[in-house]
Amino acid sequence: MVHAPAKVAAAAAIPLLTPYKMGQLELSHRVVLAPLTRCRSYGNVPQPHAAVYYSQRATRGGLLIAEATDISPTAQGYPETPGIYTQQQIEAWKPIVDAVHRKGALFFLQIWHVGRVSTTDFQPNGQAPISSTDKQITPDDSGMVYSKPRRLRTDEIPQIIDDFRRAARNAIEAGFDGVEIHGAHGYLLEQFMKDSANDRTDEYGGSLENRCRFAVEVIDAVVAEVGAHRVGIRLSPFVDFMDCFDSDPVALGSYMVQQLNKHPGFLYCHMVEPRMAIIEGRRKIAHGLLPFRKQFNGTFIAAGGFATALSYNISIPMLSFELLSKTAQVYNVIEDEHIVQGGTSLSCHRSLVPMPLC
C-alpha cells in the first residue's frame, strides 16, 4: 500500500500527473480524454449507456471531451451520431453530464459539421451534403464513396455559423463545462480553410484570410454566446484526411492561432501532430507544433503518438497511451506541452486513465 505522502511525491516527479490551471478550471492532472466517435446514439439521441461509458473514464479533476456531436440535421456524416440541436437531445445529454460531474471531472462537448464527408443517406430529404465546394471527395481504398456536395451560397453561410452558436448554447444548457469547436480532420471548417478543398471566389475563398474567414466567424459567434473561457478548438493544419490538405500548413496554423489570441481568455487550442513522412530515405516528422505552442496565449493541447517522438529523438511531444508504461521516457518527452491527449487506447483500457490525485 502506498501512503498519501508517497503518492504526492511520485506525482510531483511526473509532469503528466501534476495539477494544471486551465483558465478558470482546476485540473488534477494533464491527461485529456480525446473526443471519440462512437456511433451509438440511436436516432441521433444520446443513450443512457453513454453515462456509464464516460463516467468510467472520469477522474476527479480530469477533463473529458465528448464525441463529435452534430450541430444540425445537415451536420451528420456517420450513422447514429449524437446531436445537440433539439430539446430531446439536450435532455438526453443531461444525465450523462451529471454522471461525469459526480466523479468530479470536467466535461466538454465537441461540436461539428462534417460538410462533404457525408452521403445523401444521412442528409435531410436525401439532399446533397453542403461544403465550401462542389468537388467530391476522391474515393480511396476504404471503399467509402461520399456524395457529391453542394457548394454553399454566400448568403447561406450565416445560418451555419448560427447553428454552431446555438449548439454551444445548448451544450451549456445540457450542463457541459464548455465546448470544443471541431476545426480539424477534413470536416466543414477545414473544407473552407484548406486550399485543396476551397475553390471559392467570394469573400470565403482565395487568400488565407478569406479561407479562414468562416472558421473565424464561427469562433467569434461561439465565444460571444458562451464566453471565451468555455471555448476550445481542434485544428489539424498538417493533416490530409478526407482529401483535404493545404499547400502551406505552417502559415495556416499560425494564422489561426493569431485569430484565437484576439479573444482574451480563449481556453485552449488542441492541435493534431503532423504524421510521419519519408524524408531523405527515412521516416521522419518534418514539422512540429512548438512554434504554435509558443504563439498561442492560452492552454495548448497536443494530440498524436509519442512512439515516433521517442524513436526519432524529436523534441515536440506526442502521445500514444500504449506507451504509458514506459514512464521515464514519456514523462521526459512531454515537458514542453501544457496538456497531452489520447483516445483509442483510453477507450479500451480504463486502467490507463491516471487515478485521482486527491
pLDDT of residue 10: 53
Give residues with Cβ within 8 angstroms of 49, minimum separation 6. Answer: 40
Name the architecture of domain 4-350. Answer: Alpha-Beta Barrel (3.20)
Higher pLDDT pick, 275 / 294: 294
Band the pLDDT of 75: cuts 50, 70, 90. Answer: very high
pLDDT of residue 358: 23
The residues annotated as belonging to the active site are: 187
Query: What are the extents of the domains in the chain?
Result: 4-350
pLDDT of residue 264: 97
Does pLDDT of 176 surpass 80? yes
The beta-strand segments (E) located in the chain are 20-22, 25-27, 31-33, 63-70, 106-112, 130-131, 150-151, 178-183, 231-235, 268-272, 277-279, 282-284, 299-303, 339-342
Band the pLDDT of 255: cuts 50, 70, 90. Answer: very high
Band the pLDDT of 14: cuts 50, 70, 90. Answer: confident
111 contacts 182 by C-beta, under 8 angstroms: yes
- The 10s digit of each residue's pLDDT in 316-356 is 333 333 222 223 333 333 444 555 555 544 444 333 333 22
- The 10s digit of each residue's pLDDT in 195-212 is 999 999 999 999 999 999
Does pLDDT of 293 surpass 80? yes
Higher pLDDT pick, 162 / 345: 162
What average pLDDT is seen over the chain?
85
- The 10s digit of each residue's pLDDT in 98-128 is 999 999 999 999 999 999 999 999 999 999 9
- The 10s digit of each residue's pLDDT in 56-70 is 999 999 999 999 999
DSSP single-letter state for residue 282: E
**CA angle in degrees (0–180, nearest 5) for 279-280-282:** 65
Distance CA 203, CA 51 (A): 43
DSSP-assigned beta bridge partners for residue 65: 108
**CA angle in degrees (0–180, nearest 5) for 309-312-315:** 50
